[in-house]
Amino acid sequence: MDPSARQYITTRAMNGIRLSVDPNDVLVDEKVSVRASGLEARQQVTVYTSVKGDKGVTFASSGCYQATEDGELDLESMPSSAGTYTGVDGMGFIWSLLPSPGQRPGTQLLQNDVTKPQTVDISVYSGHRCLEDLCSGLLDAPLVTNVLTRWYKPNGVSRTPITSGRLRGTLFLPRGSGPFPGVIDIAGLELGVLENRAALLASHGYAVLALPYYGYEDLPKHTNKLDLQYFKDAAAFLDTHTHVKPGGLGILANSKGAEFAQLTAIHCPQIKCMVRVNGMPYITFFPIRDGDVLYPPAVNLDLSSCELTHEGVVGRNGHCFDTEKFTKVWESDVKILSICGGDDLNLPPDLHQLQVNCFPVNKRDDIELVKYKGAGHLIEPPFSPHCRASYNKLAQNNLVWGGNPKDHAAAQEDSWRRILQFFSKHFHGKPML
């Protein structure tokens, strides 16, 4: 993505209707303005948006609008009366994307190759149309179309696969020689290396190591073979990298990854700050070894404690509320931003407050808990479509993550702002404006 290339792209229909997207070449966490002109006075129209996912699945959204007396349409200031989103929301056409009708339930919009853009096709149709008809391809041609290009990794950010000893992953570095503040990005139970969030964070000036820990190249095939030394090696690697600013590292981790992040923070003085997103406050399912020391799980894997619903498996049951089994992260000096989905159906939200209560009074300022009502487990960067349930190989079924689309979208936008401010405060001494 080249910022100098940002401009309107306009496709003109036979009747002179103009559709503008400003800017048309953006990072995925940036807002855009979508406007149309040349429509009939108070004409009813539908804005239809479609994106192709990694596996060829089409995701789509729709919003029904009425043009002004001047024949204009502005998604930032005008309400959608029906569709996949309603009300005034300039980015609703992105965050409300759904798998098109007929797709397998539990499909998530993913983009594993961050070197390629996400291409968003935007069309305006006459009349108010339902999503099924729009996706069918049987309607008349749209009045006007346009394309939005969204990136996780701009051209200035470098991407380097890492093979150092037994360490595996991908290092993203911003443009320039640095040095840059270093952050380790640890995902949940997803197989392999997930690069989306790391690439996006690097675009904001951080050297980010996307760190897989199982199911990737020659790493363990299962989480029952993990060693804490692997995470220590990652901290040592990033801390001594020539492009990384000395003085401490950050960690951004979610779900299962947050378990390892907390242990790493306790054992690695290089870690100065950490963001945990819907992370367990203890070790789950399988032990993790640290040399001759074995950290046992606070809870064992017990699928019988899960509830099977029409949406899939709800795993909120069977968790540990015994604070003696919590990872004693408060014994470190690490500063923590804890982000919690209030409708997380995978992890009881009460556990987050329980962990905060474990911090001694003189260390209570070391942790900040932010809870989002109506948000589920998979809190991702802004404007990512809400995924309420997705297929999980361990459960051999869809896992229900929870949340509702509108509240979840608001949580993603606000939490990303908080994450950037948190890292800016602890690396640069002041929050980002």
Given the residues 29, 89, 343, 344, the one annotated as active site: 344
Residue 267 annotated in active site: no
Strand spans (E) along 28-115: 33-37, 44-52, 58-66, 73-74, 98-99
Report yes or no: 180 and 142 within 8 Å, Cβ to Cβ.
Answer: no
139 Cβ contact partners less than 8 Å away, ≥ 6 residues apart: 125, 129, 133
Which of 100, 255, 332, 415 is flagged as catalytic?
255
- 49-59 burial, b if ≥16 CB within 10 A, otherwise e? bbbebeeebbb
Concerning whether 344 is annotated as a catalytic residue, the answer is yes
Euclidean distance between the first and final Cα of the chain, in Å?
23
Please tell me which residue in 241, 319, 352, 377 is annotated as part of the active site: 377
For tokens 């539990």, the residue is: 106
For this structure, is 319 an active site residue? no
Q: What are phi and psi of 186, to 5 degrees?
A: -120, 120
- Closest-CA residue to 373 (of 410, 416, 327): 410
Structure tokens at 356: 């905060």
Classify residue 197 by its DSSP letter.
Answer: H
Query: Which residues are catalytic, by number?
Result: 255, 344, 377
